[in-house]
A and B are shown apart, each in its own frame.
Chain A
Amino acid sequence: MKLQTGYNPETPLVMHIDLNSCFATVEQQARVRLRNRPVAIVNRRTEHTMIVTASYEAKDMGVTLGMKLKDAKKICPDLVGVESDPAKYRYVYHKMLDIMNDYSAHVRMKSIDEGVIDFHEAPKAIRQRGMETIGMEIKGRLITEIGKAMRCNVGIATNRFLAKTAASLHKPDGLDIITAQNLRETLGGLELTKLTGIAHRNEARLNAVGIHTPLQFLDADAQMLRSMVFKSINGDQWHQRLRGWEVDDVDYDMKTAGRQFVLDGYNLPYEQILKRLHHLCEATGKKIRSQGKVARGVVVWATTHREQGAPRPEPGRGGWEVQRGSRYWHARHMSTAPFFSDQAIYSQAKQLFRNAPPLIRTIGVTVYELSDDVDPQLSLFGDELARERQIITAVDEINDRYGKNVIHSADTIGIGGSAVNEKIPFGSTRYL
């Protein structure tokens, strides 16, 4: 990697668009009477569930993500809890994507509520209109094409990192541009942990070498970042990223797929947990097949409730298990042959789950070592595999045609419908 020492002087042509408090904003758009009221989006219709997204009105009252709804209501008695409705968010995601695609062929959605437009190869006529004009136009189109309650942040810069930073400067309806000229001034007004990718661990690494502010980070030598802070090429990448040079224009292959579920009862019987695990395996199998992948490894994991009488964890930093008083257990198995069926995933997961601890709170299953489903090697069990593939393809087609879980294992009757319903797919946009 050739290191550029100066700040990137080019005209900013990368635009980051972020629908902040997206799910709450969409609910306020849909349900007119929720507008201008504190709203919290939760995944279950209970007071004990955690808040996934809060509206700006709720955030102003001190409500934060991850807070339990019942605790949030203590500081914000008028808070309205609304159960998440993924179909709405998917619709808005696709509308936003359609709008962004009108400006450039190089659009990447980073998650369900944010995306990046790279204008470097956009038609000259579009680039000549100016990024600020286009940013304002996109804000206007969100309002006219989705609804008047929709607001977004727009950030414009020379690379993806600074564009995202710009989009976080003036929430909820900002438009900011970071250039080589105002880079120092902009970073000077931020804290280290406000930079995307710098959480507490990286902050501690930087603090250890005397870097306490983004400006000190910007002025740090590439050699020091590489050899003393990040101890890898990450140091060089941070050096470039902060100066506005693009290092994040990369697509990553799908490496794992899975699902997790917070159990819908305290200390559920083992058989009931297995049924839910079975449903997660079916959902995971469908995920990899929809992407044309096969897997070779399965991980099952669980977190448990704190046992009665166990000491409360110390407040402060640390792993999330320590902070939340949970305990983490996992087991994994790697097969010699690739697999793709729900049954193959479940049989391995069930076997692994025999050693699971008591008092389980959350369960999850993940498949890994994914590869494209085009293995040319002949199998000794070719006929059997071909038969299995035909059955699975037929079942998937029926489910696609008549609705999710029209056909599923008898074991998961009554589970798939409501208890383990898929909620908001954070992170990957592959399944949207």
Chain B
Amino acid sequence: MSDDAERRTLSVLVENEPGVLARVIGLFSGRGYNIESLTVAEVEHDKRLSRINLVTSGSAMVIEQIKAQLDRLVPIHKVSDLGSEGPYIERELALIKVVATGEKRVESLRIADIFRAHVVDSEIDSFVFEMTGKGTKIDAFIRLMTPLGLTEISRTGVVAITRGKESI
């Protein structure tokens, strides 16, 4: 990331049809833009709409280009730059496996409690924790779990929505 680069979260409403994700990803790879995180799922079945949440970074000029380039893809309905439209909430979900026994196992459970992570799978020598939160919170949790026997991480990437009554 260059000095003047800024991180942006974009929410993109797209037609739920084959190939639409490939168009978005192809645009980013073809034009050399960054993708830090990308999530996609159908959000309105009746209207055939999916939502892509995309975290990217670049200079202000590059961010403007990314938005304009996305917007001119035919199956894209709307591109929203969440940061520029007021406050918004970002969340991520992670499943984290810790293999440990004895004191380390107890310690992992204690930290999980502090972070409000849930135990979703438990064996005599392992836990799978589920936690949601900002990416930075999940990063911190992973950092603390690493010396305790962390063996596997699965993260969803960022989903985001604006605060207040306005919708994108």
Do the two chains belong together in a single complex? no
* B residues in contact (CB < 8 Å) with A: none
